[in-house]
Amino acid sequence: MLRTFFFAFIFLPVLPLTAAATGDTTRAVQTEATYTGDHYGNLRGGIRTGYAYLGLAQFHFGLNTGSAGLWQGGELYVMGAATHGRSPSGELTGDIQVASNIEAGDHIYLQEFWYQHSFGDVTIAAGLQDLNAGFVTCSRAGLLLNSSFGIMPTITGNLPVPVFPLTALGITGHFPLSSRLTFSAAVFDGSAEDFATNPYNISWQLSRHDGLLSFGEFTYSSGKTQKYTLRTGIYYHSGYTETTPEMQPYLHPAHAGLYLIGERELIKSPTGFCLNAFLQAGTGSRSDHPVKHYLGTGIHTSGLFKKRKNDEAGFAVARAATPSGCETTIELTCRAEITENFSIQPDLQYIIHPGIAPGTPNALVFILRAGINID
């Protein structure tokens, strides 16, 4: 049934979607619904060839307290999510970096629920948050579908990190030090629950035995021109952590790590064409963790055609080093905006040494992603 519905909106993009964005950021209440669907084909290599479908529905609600006539500087945000479909990285491809960044299984749950207050230029937020919404971000890599380009596997592969699909309770703050330099800090519950014990993400337990996960990040940009941005950060987990089921399960003591993210605008023409490059690098403090080092780099373009300035394309390479070897993913993707509310994105990934498993051949993956939003 879900596949039939999804194929229907792929081939009927001419249906009117009247709830276009107004661009008004002063509304007291803002709502949005989005749906992302991936047709995933493991064409060659990996564990076995085959097809899988994955879907993600998200529902957003935001309340601006100032615009609502309450108090100034406040923002309440709630997001619910529903994921469905198979797990092709585990069943078909065998890669540890996860080729589709919406792979999560079948769940309906609360993804975010937080309150943020602004004190001038300083913002503080508390509640159920996604770490990757404000930390370890790389905007030029956001088009790519492989999970490593969203947040490095040196973090997600070694620690219980509050990112999609399951988030955790935390406090975050962003402190501008100048017009170009910002310091950000975060403290999260050190043991994000899993779906087995917290199926709807509404049962949160804080324990001193879980420790804390802390992040500190500096962001430097070239000012209003935004021709380059540099982020560097450190993180520390004070408790014991367990590796994911895909890895050998055993406990690790306190863990720390470093990361660096750079983005640079290379070309910006009067016709609207833009070419940007990015670099990601990360390492952890323990050599016995599942992912020791990570390096990613790529380019992003937009405005290739004058009449289609919102279309995008990207090419990138992600390399994750483990104690037993390296897995490398080469990704090529493009996104076409069919209407203001509907897009299609074909994506091709070649994965070298998937899972660093002896005898597993290199994999070729094709993903057709479609997205719809109503706000």
Question: Among candidates 136, 124, 131, 133, which has minimal Cα distance to 160?
Answer: 131
The pTM for the full model equals 0.87
Burial class (CB in 10 A: 0-12, 13-18, 19+), 144: buried
Per-residue pLDDT tens digits for 95-121: 999 999 999 999 999 999 999 999 999
pLDDT band, residue 301 (cuts 50/70/90): very high
Question: Among candidates 107, 101, 100, which has minimal Cα distance to 81?
Answer: 107
pLDDT band, residue 342 (cuts 50/70/90): very high
More confident residue, 15 or 316: 316
Average pLDDT over residues 341-351: 98
Q: What is the pLDDT of residue 39?
A: 98
Look at residue 240 and tell me whether its pLDDT is greater than 70. Answer: no
Look at residue 55 and tell me whether its pLDDT is greater than 70. Answer: yes
Residues forming a β-bridge with 125: 116, 172
More confident residue, 211 or 9: 211
Look at residue 237 and tell me whether its pLDDT is greater than 90. Answer: yes
pLDDT > 70: percent of the chain:
88
Neighbouring C-beta atoms of residue 266, cutoff 10 Å: 13
pLDDT > 90: percent of the chain:
76
Per CATH, is 31-374 categorized as 2.40.160.180? yes
Distance CA 78, CA 218 (A): 27
Look at residue 210 and tell me whether its pLDDT is greater than 90. Answer: no
